[in-house]
Amino acid sequence: MLLDIGKKARQAAQVLARAKTAQKNVALTALAEQLLEQSAQILAANAQDVAESRQAGLAPAMLDRLTLTSARLDGIVSELLQTISLPDPVRETFDHATLPNGLKIHKQRVPLGVIGVIYESRPNVTVDVAGLALKSGNAVLLRGGSETLHTNRALVTIIRSALEEHSLPEDAVQFIDSPDRALVLELLQLQEYVDIIIPRGGAGLHAFCRANSRIPVITGGVGICHIFADESADQESALPVIHNAKTQRPSVCNSLDTLLVHRSVAAEFLPRVVITLGRDGVTFRADPAAVACLAGLDRSLQALVFPAGPDDFDTEWMSLVLGLKVVENIDEAIAHTNTHSLGHSDSILTADPASAQRWINDVDSAAVYVNASTRFTDGNQFGLGAEVAISTQRLHARGPMGLRELTTYKWVVVGDYHVRP
């Protein structure tokens, strides 16, 4: 089955790579309209997935990622419309030069080709990936989780219909319509037809893909995110940032997992953090120094604080749990972050430009922040029109992967009947 899917995807990619920007935009606009027109059917399919997954005991964080609402569907459409509005990177030229011998050279952007995306729980990925892949001239093979089967069937049917209506190959978007996990391994062996694999899921999925794929793999989307509040941070301004990073949507990969606080302000600031976040149901895993700073809280607040276990600072919580650690200085904060972060998103709260620059230079993550919530690491928030994934590696892309990150380039060399001497 997958061999046939791969062949169709390669053929579709070759057609799509030649498509004009206007044609792609018209098809994507029609897709946005159809998603809204058929929202009742999409939400009904999603409700079936949610009910079955709840009965099967899916974790609350995964249920949240799975669930579509009218507002979330509107958000998906809004991101698709933003993708349509962005410049088409295909055939963009750059790095122009004329060599001493008169040869004119430049680079020209071309699609990657066929992208395989393996993901869990989040049906918005189906539309985000399809929209970005189509706009950048790529075919895509989608393999969603078994928990999103009904929703993905509904979404892919609409996507393929919009393509067919506007004379683009419907096989540019294909869905592996089976929960059989053996098909993931089969997909990873399709090196003749698939150019890149992007897994979006937990660390286990990423490790499986890296170990078994014959195709290059881009991993990301797993984060242990930090905020360091240094001694100069404006505490009144810092509290809303920490609150937003932890509570705005705790189940996603750019939510806050560990708060580091400079020792000189920890006794004053940490109680304020617990009071502020505790109102919204956050519980805490605190190192011994942080526990000592919180000893004066009343019993109801102290009940929210637990001593940190040996693995707590290496945990992506994906829930209303926050690690607390007191550090001596920025050196310790940077060392802790680089040791325990997974290279996703890490922030410093400071009024000291020198400390801000140290953080920017020395923290080895895909996105580093100064005086801002980690929740902004997102294709839409970065103006990319959603993202296919958030890469935490160095090759071929890092951070949110939008349109440009779904292209590579070719060298174009123009001569006047040149020969090499």
**CA distance to 44, 118, 150, 172, per residue, from 169 (Å):** 28, 22, 23, 6
Type of residue numbered 102: G
Please enumerate in sequence order all residues whose Cβ is within 8 A of that of 280, keeping only pairs 6 or more positions apart, or say none.
243, 247, 320
Q: What pLDDT score was predicted for residue 202?
A: 79
Report the C-alpha gap between 58 and 142 in whole angstroms.
Answer: 22
Report the C-alpha gap between 333 and 321 in whole angstroms.
Answer: 20
Q: Are strands 321-327 and 399-400 parallel, antiparallel or unpaired?
A: unpaired
Report the C-alpha gap between 61 and 75 in whole angstroms.
Answer: 19
E strands present in 144-221: 173-175, 196-200
Considering the chain, tell me which residue range(s) the CATH 3.40.309.10 domain(s) occupy.
225-376
Q: What is the pTM of this model?
A: 0.88
Structure-token pair, residue 185: 């391994």
Q: What pLDDT score was predicted for residue 266?
A: 98
- How many beta carbons lie within 10 A of that of residue 183, not counting itself? 17
Could you read off the pLDDT of 100-121 as tens digits, one per residue? 999 999 999 999 999 999 998 8
Q: What pLDDT score was predicted for residue 81?
A: 95
Could you read off the pLDDT of 143-174 as tens digits, one per residue? 998 999 999 999 999 999 999 999 999 999 99
- Picking from 96, 119, 91, 87, the residue whose alpha carbon sits closest to that of residue 413 is 96
Helix, strand, or coil here: 180?
A: coil
Long-range contacts of 18-27 (CB under 8 A, 24+ apart): 19/137, 19/168, 21/88, 21/90, 23/166, 23/167, 23/168, 24/88, 24/134, 24/135, 24/137, 24/168, 25/84, 25/135, 26/166, 27/134, 27/162, 27/163, 27/165, 27/166, 27/168
Fold of 225-376: Aldehyde Dehydrogenase; Chain A, domain 2 (3.40.309)
Report the interhelical angle of 21-37 vs 39-55 (nearest 10°): 70
DSSP 264-331: HHHHHHHHHHHHHHHTTT-EEEE-HHHHHHTTTS-HHHHTTEEE--TTGGG----SSEEEEEEESSHH
CB 178 within 8 A of CB 19: no
Considering the chain, tell me which residue range(s) the CATH 3.40.605.10 domain(s) occupy.
2-218+401-414
Helix, strand, or coil here: 98?
A: strand
Could you read off the pLDDT of 190-242 as tens digits, one per residue? 999 999 999 988 788 889 999 999 999 998 778 899 999 999 999 999 999 99
CB 215 within 8 A of CB 196: yes
User: Residue 173 — φ and ψ, nearest 5°?
Assistant: -125, 115
- Picking from 9, 392, 59, the residue whose alpha carbon sits closest to that of residue 206 is 392
What does CATH list as the number for 2-218+401-414?
3.40.605.10
Q: Pick out the chain residues at pLDDT < 70.
A: none
